[in-house]
Amino acid sequence: MKKDYSSHLETTPDAEGNFGEYGGAFLPPQLIGPMQEIHTAYLKISKSADFINELRSIRTHYQGRPTPTYHAKRLSELCGGASIYLKREDLNHTGAHKLNHCMGEGLLAKYMGKKKLIAETGAGQHGVALATAAAYFGLECEIHMGEVDMAKEHPNVIRMKLLGAKVVPVSFGLKTLKEAVDSAFQAYLVDPETSIYCIGSVVGPHPFPMMVRDFQRVVGIEAREQFQEMTGNLPDLITACIGGGSNAMGLFSAFLNDPCEIWGVEPMGRGPNPGDHAATMTYGMPGIIHGFKSYLLQDEKGEPSPVYSIASGLDYPGVGPEHSYLKDEGRIQYTSATDEECLDAFYKLSRLEGIIPALESAHAVAFAMEKAKEMGTGSILLNLSGRGDKDLDFVADTYGFGD
Ligand SMILES: *Cc1c(COP(=O)(O)O)cnc(C)c1O
């Protein structure tokens, strides 16, 4: 490997939130102050022994960490090549890696003396994880969600309400994620004193890409240690699915300075036509979205393009700025899996291992299966970011049982 990444996590991003030419904070004037406040508080609070100890205790006693690393023997045998290992983030409380950063954001809010967490949600996964954190810390929670998404993801709306969150329907524009972000920012601006905005991935203006990565690092730290304990070696290849890129950054951050290949897997949806996929790294160009610079699927005017994936947690036209930086550096490679490949992996992992994955995570499984065969030997570690309970009705009704 050409470059030394041993100090990458300490030196990147820089003080302004730049990952090379990506990241930063492109904000309306009213948001500059509140973002600065979050940044300053985070730098101070996240280093305090009280904060570190409390987060550690929450992870052990509430979230169920460490999550195991598991050798998927039957799936590996089917592929007939490299051994496939899964980091079981699906076993987190609430069923996905998102609670890793939501508990961190909730704890930061508590230390900052905030009373209310505000966020948007697309499919509802981030909303549910944040509503869980709010319930745990005794904070108010307000989740903005497009009316179209609310109808589509009704069970998550019910979960958020049961957890005590206020779900604000967003009825302008396309009534989906992009409008929900605008609505959540507006609500936050009304009262940045007592509320705090909590983002759902390694995206958004500085300091969010850094903060969310830091909270997700636990995934990679655990997995690296567990893998070495199990095999005496490091994996030859690691992989994860990429929506905004938080579960991927969580795993990848621990292996940047190791001699292993790193692959991010984006959704190719129904195919390469515009509007049929969300393969940002394959078809995007640098641009600005939601306050940061990164690769972006965009039209001629720089407006974010419509995107699609069978996995609603992956259909985002942007990607975390650190991914863009590490792609240009050549340290991480990006590829894609189609809806069809994702479904095949979804059924195979369920049948062969008794693990029903989230459709998002199944994209990484699909790539690992293909790569295992191609490699013929060695090992692959993949981040199984979530469980498939949320997808059961949709898959069974639309595609059946995979016979
Ligand atoms: C939200 C979600 C993702 C995508 O988010 P990233 O920030 O890219 O990790 C992936 N898997 C699951 C299970 C999710 O809920």
* pLDDT tens digits, one per residue of 103-155: 999 999 999 999 999 999 988 999 999 999 999 999 999 999 999 889 888 99
Q: Which pLDDT tens digit goes with each residue over 155-211?
A: 999 999 999 999 999 999 888 888 898 899 999 999 999 999 999 999 999 999 999
| CA 203/CA 304 separation, integer angstroms | 15
- For residues 13-26, average pLDDT: 98
Atom nearest to 200 CA in ligand 1: 7
Instruction: Let me know if 360 is a catalytic residue.
Output: no
Q: Which pLDDT tens digit goes with each residue over 36-90?
A: 999 999 999 999 999 999 999 999 999 999 999 999 999 999 999 999 999 999 9
Q: Which of 110, 104, 153 is nearest to 128 (CA)?
A: 153
Q: Which of 379, 91, 176, 102 is nearest to 260 (CA)?
A: 379
- Report the chain's mean pLDDT, rounded to a whole number: 96
| CA 277/CA 174 separation, integer angstroms | 18
Instruction: Let me know if 385 is a catalytic residue.
Output: yes
Q: Which pLDDT tens digit goes with each residue over 221-269?
A: 999 999 999 999 999 999 999 999 999 999 999 999 999 999 999 999 9
Q: Residue 335 pLDDT more than 70?
A: yes
Cβ pair 5, 257 in contact under 8 A: yes
Q: Which of 92, 337, 300, 289 is nearest to 177 (CA)?
A: 289
Amino acid at 396: A
Q: Whose CA is nearest to atom 3 of ligand 1?
A: 313
User: In this predicted structure, what is the pLDDT of residue 173?
Assistant: 86
Instruction: Let me know if 327 is a catalytic residue.
Output: no
Give 233's contacts (C-beta < 8 A, 6+ positions apart): 227, 379
The terminus-to-terminus CA distance of the chain in angstroms comes to: 44
Distance, CA 2 to ligand 1 centroid (Å)? Answer: 30
Q: Which of 139, 62, 52, 56 is nearest to 94 (CA)?
A: 62
Given ligand 1 and candidates 87, 94, 98, 361, which is best to mutate, with the most ligand atoms within 8 Å of its CB? Answer: 98
Q: Which of 105, 120, 266, 353 is catalytic?
A: 120
All domains of the chain in start order, with CATH: 19-60+98-209 (3.40.50.1100), 66-96+217-399 (3.40.50.1100)
The structure tokens listed for 345 are 């992996």
Distance, CA 187 to ligand 1 centroid (Å)? Answer: 25
Give 328's contacts (C-beta < 8 A, 6+ positions apart): 20, 21
Q: For the chain, what is the HEC assignment?
A: CCCCCCCHHHHCCCCCCEECCEECCCCCHHHHHHHHHHHHHHHHHCCCHHHHHHHHHHHHHHHCCCCCEEECHHHHHHHCCCEEEEEEHHHCHHHECHHHHHHHHHHHHHHCCCCEEEEEECCCHHHHHHHHHHHHHCCEEEEEEEHHHHHHCHHHHHHHHHCCCEEEEECCCCCCHHHHHHHHHHHHHHCCCCEEECCCCCCCCCCHHHHHHHHHHHHHHHHHHHHHHHHCCCCCEEEEECCCCHHHHHHHCCCCCCCCEEEEEEEEECCCCCCCCCCHHHHCEEEEECCEEEEECECCCCCECCCCCCCHHHCCCCCCHHHHHHHHCCCCEEEEEEHHHHHHHHHHHHHHHCCCECHHHHHHHHHHHHHHHHHCCCEEEEEECEECHHHHHHHHHHHCCCC
Distance, CA 97 to ligand 1 centroid (Å)? Answer: 7
Q: Whose CA is nearest to atom 4 of ligand 1?
A: 243
User: In this predicted structure, what is the pLDDT of residue 178?
Assistant: 80
User: In this predicted structure, what is the pLDDT of residue 293?
Assistant: 98
Q: From the CA atom positions of the chain, what is the Rg in Å?
A: 20
| CA 186/CA 26 separation, integer angstroms | 16
- pLDDT-derived band at 1 (thresholds 50, 70, 90) equals low
Q: Which pLDDT tens digit goes with each residue over 279-292?
A: 999 999 999 999 99
Pairing mode, strands 261-269 and 285-289: unpaired
Q: Which of 153, 348, 385, 390 is catalytic?
A: 385
Q: Residue 387 pLDDT more than 70?
A: yes
| Omega within 30 of 0 (cis) for the link into 13 | yes
Atom nearest to 123 CA in ligand 1: 1
